[in-house]
Amino acid sequence: MYIFGPVPSRRLGLSLGVDPLLSKSCNLNCIYCELGRSFKLVTERKLFVPTADIVKEIKEFLDKGGETDFITVSGSGEPTLALNLGELITAIRAITDKKIAVITNGVLLSDPQVRRELCLADVVLPSMDSFTKETYIKINRPHGSINIEKVTEGLRAFAQEFKGGIWLEIMIVKGINDNDEEMKRAKEVLDTIPGIKSIQLNTVVRSRAESYAEPVSDETLKRLASILGPRAEVIGKFRNGVIHTIDSVESAILDALKRRPMTAQEFEQSMGMKRQQVEHSLQKLMERGEVERDDFNGKEFFKIKL
């Protein structure tokens, strides 16, 4: 399947995910990535999945009464690597008036063609975890051909061209970019990019690629947001909603877990089910060897068993 969820998103409410990549394909190897490490970085755009195949699944979901707040192109890595991204957004727009979002690491914003394609969306959520070279490399571990100056200028150019909403995410990792100097540098750069509507501070909340990628406290996030100014906000928790899926509960759980680890509570909130029902389905999946537990930061997550 090329669609998943809807899953609860702290930024987009109920989000129907769209994966144009099939398997993890990314030009970064972020230490906090919930999909794990990127063992081979991808830098060239190519066609991974035919547009018609993806749109067919979205149409089936909608025709069967599926509900969602956003249709979000993200998936197994960096979606701007998909050569048919613009075609995909246009095709989705032709079958629904649901808002379309794209979650991107922002690396390819330096490419004018990628910027043109992203301009077809309603909301674009790029990430930029540091504006200093050393810290950017430490957190995001980019392909050797990527440099922070080019990425920053791509973000600046896109902010000038895009008419929709740009919600920039900064992922804060304990002991790496959680200091005042990092935020002052971020503010210095971001103050020159007024086109960004919101600067959203986040921290590690799920399983991650490296065990040393630790979360920071809410107090730290609030302090750092105050440095960035009025556009900055700390990402809140997912607001309750009801998920409407076209398959069984177990299939819906597996589809969601293929993209990111989740807690039983998150499934309970998004599916509108009782905890006992969720736990029963998760237990069956674990007994079949398809899902396993992973304890992180005092919470019990479930993820696909590799």
CA atoms in the 13 A half-sphere facing the CB of 223 = 12
Asked whether the beta carbons of 178 and 224 are under 8 A apart, the reply is yes
- Give the mean model confidence (pLDDT) for residues 124-147: 95
pLDDT digits (tens, 9 = 90+) for 140-192: 999 989 999 999 999 999 999 999 999 999 999 999 999 999 999 999 999 99
Q: What's domain 260-306's architecture?
A: Orthogonal Bundle (1.10)
Three-state SS for 87? helix
Residue ranges matching CATH 3.20.20.70 in the chain: 3-246
Greatest extent of the chain over all pairs of C-alpha atoms, in Å:
54
Q: Across all residues in the chain, what is the average pLDDT?
A: 87
Q: What's domain 3-246's architecture?
A: Alpha-Beta Barrel (3.20)
The CB density around residue 46, as the number of other CB atoms within 10 Å, is: 11
* 217 Cβ neighbours under 8 A, 6+ residues apart: none
Residue ranges matching CATH 1.10.10.10 in the chain: 260-306
pLDDT digits (tens, 9 = 90+) for 221-264: 999 999 999 999 998 544 444 444 334 567 677 777 876 788 88
